[in-house]
């Protein structure tokens, strides 16, 4: 079973409309735990934002832009530098950004952000070509598709998920 750690603010970046089966494998609170949680809105995805902390923002931007073939956009925020992944406010999934913030280290933690891919082996290969390191080659997770794990240029482990 896949579990989501809570020691860093991150999220699974996932399209529920086309990949909802993976979420059936994620450890979730029981019904009684949900009822005892007064402040959680269970009418939507629990996680609404993710941040990947980095030390070298230019190196990290280059890695993510080239690996996923997207353009990150700057977000204004006092005391930190943020570069957001493409956001679709009316679409399922979760938005997020790379963040450089003094006093916050990057690196492998207890949470893995999964990026949705057509074929996770392609992005894993691109990650390696852009300064990252493949930790776990593409592997089957049964009827839920495939995953690969890579380290980015800042030492963060990220996950890649695809149905093929």
Query: pLDDT exceeding 90 applies to what percent of the chain?
Result: 53
> What average pLDDT is seen over the chain?
78
Question: In which residue are the tokens 């923002």 written?
Answer: 57
Q: Is residue 60 part of a domain?
A: yes
Q: Is residue 4 part of a domain?
A: no
pLDDT at site 160: 94
For 63, residues 6+ apart whose C-beta sits below 8 A from its C-beta are 127, 130, 131, 132, 152, 153, 154
Q: Is residue 2 part of a domain?
A: no
pTM: 0.65
pLDDT digits (tens, 9 = 90+) for 95-146: 899 999 888 888 878 788 999 999 999 999 999 999 999 999 999 999 899 9
Please tell me the total count of domains within the chain.
1
Domain encompassing residue 72 = 16-26+47-162
In the Cβ-directed half-sphere of 132, how many Cα atoms lie within 13 Å?
30
């Amino acid at each position: 079973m896949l579990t989501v750690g809570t020691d860093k603010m991150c999220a699974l970046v996932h399209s529920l409309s086309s990949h909802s089966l993976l979420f059936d494998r994620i450890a979730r609170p029981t019904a009684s735990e949900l009822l005892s949680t007064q402040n959680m809105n269970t009418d939507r995805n629990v996680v609404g934002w993710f941040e990947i902390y980095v030390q070298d923002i230019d190196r990290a931007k280059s890695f993510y832009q080239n690996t996923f073939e997207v353009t990150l956009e700057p977000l204004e925020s006092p005391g930190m530098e943020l570069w957001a992944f493409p956001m679709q406010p009316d679409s399922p999934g979760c938005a997020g950004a790379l963040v450089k913030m003094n006093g916050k280290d990057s690196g492998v933690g207890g949470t893995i952000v999964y990026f949705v891919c057509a074929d996770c082996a392609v992005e894993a290969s691109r990650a390696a070509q852009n300064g990252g390191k493949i930790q776990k080659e593409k592997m089957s997770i049964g009827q839920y598709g495939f995953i690969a794990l890579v380290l980015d240029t800042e030492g963060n482990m990220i996950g890649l998920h695809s149905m093929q």
